[in-house]
Amino acid sequence: MSEKRSYVVVHDTHYTYEHPVGLSRQIVHLTPRVTSWQECRAHALNVTPQPEILARSVDVFGNPLTSLCIEADHDSLFVRAESWVEVTARDYPPDAKTAPWDEVRARLAYQAGRKPHAADLEAARFLFESTRVRNKRELAAWTSACFPPGRPVLEGVRALMNRIHTELKFDPTATTVSTPVMEVFERRRGVCQDFAHLMLSCLRSIGLAARYVSGYLLTRPPPGRKRLVGADASHAWVSVYCLEHGWVDADPTNGVFPSLEHVTLGWGRDYDDVIPLRGVLLGGGDHELEIKVTVAPASDYEAIFGEPSPLLPRS
pLDDT tens for 160-207 read 999 999 999 999 999 998 999 999 999 999 999 999 999 999 999 999
The helix/strand/coil state of 313 is coil
On the CB side of 231, how many CA atoms lie within 13 Å of its CA? Answer: 13
Tell me the one-letter amino acid at 259.
Answer: S
Radius of gyration of the chain, Cα coordinates, nearest whole angstrom: 20
- How far from 55 is each of 217, 282, 311, CA to CA, in Å? 28, 21, 22
Asked if residue 209 lies in contact with residue 124, where contact means CB atoms within 8 angstroms, the answer is yes
Mean pLDDT of the residues in the chain: 94
Q: Give burial (CB, 10 Å; 0-12/13-18/19+) of 227.
A: middle
The phi and psi torsions of 192 (rounded to 5 degrees) equal: -60, -40
Report H helices in the chain: 101-108, 118-123, 137-143, 153-167, 181-187, 192-205, 301-305
Q: Is the pLDDT of residue 314 over 90?
A: no
Rounded Cα–Cα distance for residues 300 and 126 (Å): 38
pLDDT of residue 306: 87
On the CB side of 239, how many CA atoms lie within 13 Å of its CA? Answer: 22
Cβ density class 238-270: b for 16+ within 10 Å, e for less? bbbbbbeeebbbbbbbbebbbbbbbbbbbbbbb
pLDDT digits 0-9 by tens, 38-63: 999 999 999 999 999 999 999 999 99
pLDDT digits 0-9 by tens, 197-222: 999 999 999 999 999 999 999 988 77
Q: What angle do CA 4, 98, 134 make, to 5 degrees?
A: 90
Q: Is the pLDDT of residue 118 over 70?
A: yes
pLDDT of residue 112: 87
Share of the chain above pLDDT 70, in %: 98
Its CATH class, for the domain covering 4-88+274-305, is mainly beta
pLDDT of residue 220: 80
Residues of the chain with CATH 3.10.620.30: 95-272
Rounded Cα–Cα distance for residues 211 and 197 (Å): 9
- Closest Cα partner for 293 from 219, 212, 193, 192? 219
Rounded Cα–Cα distance for residues 245 and 91 (Å): 11
Mean pLDDT (whole number) for 139-152 = 98
pLDDT of residue 249: 98
Rounded Cα–Cα distance for residues 62 and 266 (Å): 8
Rounded Cα–Cα distance for residues 112 and 127 (Å): 18
pLDDT of residue 3: 94
Tell me which DSSP letter residue 279 carries. E
Cβ density class 149-182: b for 16+ within 10 Å, e for less? eebbbbbbbbbbbebbbeebeeeeebbeeebebe
pLDDT of residue 231: 63
Flag whether the pTM goes above 0.85. Answer: yes
Answer yes or no: CATH 3.10.620.30 is held by domain 95-272: yes
Q: Is the pLDDT of residue 95 over 80?
A: yes
Residues of the chain with CATH 2.60.40.2250: 4-88+274-305
Q: What share of the chain is helix, strand, coil (3-state, %, to 5)?
A: 25, 40, 35
Taking the alpha carbons of 280, 291, 167, 218 in that order, is the dihedral positive or negative? Answer: negative
